[in-house]
Chain A
Amino acid sequence: MTFRDRYYLALLNIRKSKFKSILFVLTTLIFFLILSIFFTAKKSVEDFFNDYLNSDFSNRIIAVEVGENDRNDIVNQIEKLNNKHISKVFHSNYELFLQAKIESEDNKINGYASLYGNYDGINYTINYGHDIENDNEIICSSSFYPGNYDNETSDSLFELSKYLNSNFKISYNKDKIDIDSISGDWNIDTIEEYSKNLKLVGTFDIKEDLTQYNMCYVSSEMLENILNSNKVFENKEDEKIFFDGLPALVLVDKYENVQNIINELNNMSYNAYLAYELDTESIQSVFNIINVLTIIIVIFSLVSTYLFLKNSLKENKEIIYFYKTMGYYDKDIKGIIMWQFVTLLIITFLINILAIIILKPIVEYILGKYPLYSVLSIHISIFETLLFCFLTIIIILVLINIYMKKLSNKI
């Protein structure tokens, strides 16, 4: 019997027992949906954490204690390592970003932004416009609070891409820092106010990059120039007190290289550690719970599927006897019954995928209403469901073989 013959007979069986076939599809669809929804949730959460670890570069910043050493020496020594995974070494967090006022020409945006340099290790996904090419260009998160974002709710979020190619006024101060050597009081005086006009050439997707709102990138050279000149100290002593206790910072290119670099620095007898300590333990325990749940759900589904398939196969007894009296080979009968079930499974699988694709935007829409979850994107997991589909087919094959053997022994 050719494959086409077997398939023809399998389809004939499906057509002739419509009710049972539909029941089979609906029942297996329930298992498939439970699994797909679970695996999709699992994948979304895991991808979220993994993306988060890599996208938010603050997870890739290593602090190196300065102590009594000279800050410049430490920075120079680390730079001299020429480690290709080290993107940039900062003297302190005062060199990392600039908090500045930002105003649009129509004054609808009049608030604050954190400006970061576009260093190599910092990556962002531009959703409108293009990357920075000149010193007078800026790119910002497309979701933007127009005013002082400490006081605002997600309703007031602004879509910044509307302002593409328009100019923004960026203002910051030059401060004079004077520390009273007797009382220890700090006295910070603004000695000059600066402003620059920067052109918004692009925006990035906060959801892709999992960064904070009101974040902008500017040319790193320009930012360095500003940050090196926006503070003046009364004397060397004041400068030392001002920076006292602040570690130097090392930006690493990828999250997976962070631990190696920490080890390397520690071996050089520096005291180095992750600057923004992540709560990896609770992330890990979330993963552990998810993994245990996975095992339970998969075992439950496999057992239920097994029992259900066994029952469905028994209902095929009559047709198997019928084929046998027709003189069909056992392997042909197996093939027919197998294709009958595999076809139904493929139909189930496709309906399942369709259902998930339809559900995805609905769930995302609902999640989008809660700022906490709005950055979580739904990542459909087809692979696991496909794997389960194959496992089910294997169970079917095993069951058919056992069943046919049983029948042959009876005859």
Chain B
Amino acid sequence: MLNSKIPSGPLDSKWKNYKSTCKLVNPANKRKLEVIVVGTGLAGASAAASLGELGYKVKAFCFQDSPRRAHSIAAQGGINAAKNYQNDGDSVYRLFYDTIKGGDYRAREGNVHRLAEVSGNIIDHCVAQGVPFAREYGGLLSNRSFGGTQVQRTFYAAGQTGQQLLIGAYQSLERQISLGNVEMFNRHEMLDVVIIDGKARGIICRNLVTGELERHFGHSVLLCTGGYGNVFYLSTNAMGSNVTAAWKAHKKGAYFANPCFTQIHPTCIPVSGDHQSKLTLMSESLRNDGRIWVPKNQGDNRKPNEIPEEERDYYLERRYPAFGNLVPRDVASRAAKERCDAGYGVGSSKQAVYLDYAAAIQRYGKIEAGKKGLVHADAATITALGKEVVKEKYGNLFDMYEKITGENPYEIPMRIYPAVHYTMGGLWVDYELMTSIPGLYCLGEANFSDHGANRLGASALMQGLADGYFVIPYTIGNYLSDEIRTSAIATDHPAFAEAESKVRDRIHMLMNIKGTKTVESFHKRLGKIMWDKCGMARNAEGLKQAIKEIQQLKQEFWSDVKIPGSINEMNPELDKANRVADFIELGELMCIDALNREESCGGHFREEFQTEEGEALRNDDQFMYVSAWELKNEHEWTLHREDLNYEVVKPSQRSYK
């Protein structure tokens, strides 16, 4: 039975009550308890730093050459918090409600309310660390809007919010390293969890520089290893983002929840050719000021600036007048796909829509001219002033667009198209962030909690930091308080030896295939299957076919992959092979999950289940649950359902009209 351990009592006092009644570990005992933190992005770095501050003995691991480079660094737009600094009606309840609704009623009320409650503490802590958030002239913190909400609650640092937050967490982590509370292992990849007497007690990892396998003990293990969007090959994730750590835990018994819930982000730079290695996001914050449109005529090949206003279809504003360009991501992405599929797409591939800043430049230009008292400013002056404002707000994004496409977005509307961005699914965790394996926790994007079937913009940073700074420091104590009598287990314990030898065998097996096809070629093929059949729109027939194709791909991979180099050296192709092998297995489970969920909700759009207007059609009677999958055998999983109980919010069909 799945026990989500949601505390009883009214929604807004669950977390308070939990905190005041959970078990504690005294300082002397903390020093004897060892915690392993795998991954040092926002979730992992904040957890490792906070646990180090509390006095636990922490070992932290990442595969990059420094914790400062985790994928969190790339987050652009911002982080939400219910501060109501703008006096526009925000509150903890409203942030909670928006997140539940945005997630299309597939997230737990208890978790999401806690997230909203601690959101303000995150901002306070980051300010105290010296995170240079954007400020107003009066010296106070500035906010912007994000999709799926009608208040301004997003804190930001230009287009580099993730960078600044991660640097804040990284600096706290480095401080704990210098104090000797945290030991850091860079360029290390976790390849298995070690389980002793049913509890997670350590990990096996590969030193990526020497190729050696290492054993590390911990009284508990935290996986903070990020999302698995790269199962689609092309995504906005960093090249190294992978599912391996979570997948190894899954193979050791941890349930994997809602794997098919993938977020496709509406505003990314379109694919330019077969060589494409990744896709680049243009932050959602651009939808604040930019207007999205396609020509009203199919196959219109004129340059965008030659298409007159009345021949443009601002389809989001037309379909969703209440939210306009700021509808949630899943809605915006599907609307773009719908237009392109119907033949209105733009650019050479016709798989793109315009994101246009001309109106914003004019609007800001006039405001600036007014501020400067230029009553009779000419058009050129207004345009120049407007461009200045846009540059200050979004300059780095515009520069990035120009570097990649060679086009100047201040002059020509940007071409954008949806791309895989975030994975709401992940390891199943209870309220305490513990997986179904005792002592094994999962934080950040790697877990499934909080975002339901669709994540709202600026909420991933919030969740990662909530998990690391404000949740795990309490919940881990509740577990470790019972472990104070467990002394450190020596790593020559048979469970460590067995786990290591399995990892070694698998590496040897991979190296000995000596086939003809590169790892990359398999990854690309997997990505194509996933994008075509388990992407923005899915149907039963396609999913069944995808499962077959993935099973074949797996066979072919394990008999024909070609990995150069050797084992006992730095070998990035071997590392990649390990990851792609796991992605292939995950891909199958994603399709199984998508097939099982006979409804449309959030990012999961089953073509068979839609309203007359083409909106997602949920089936609350049958699918108001979290799917938690347990691996039984190769290609064989058991489904465990965690029913979702809405005590406060009344689920309804999401409307952004």
Bound pair (A, B): no
A positions within 8 Å CB-CB of B:
none
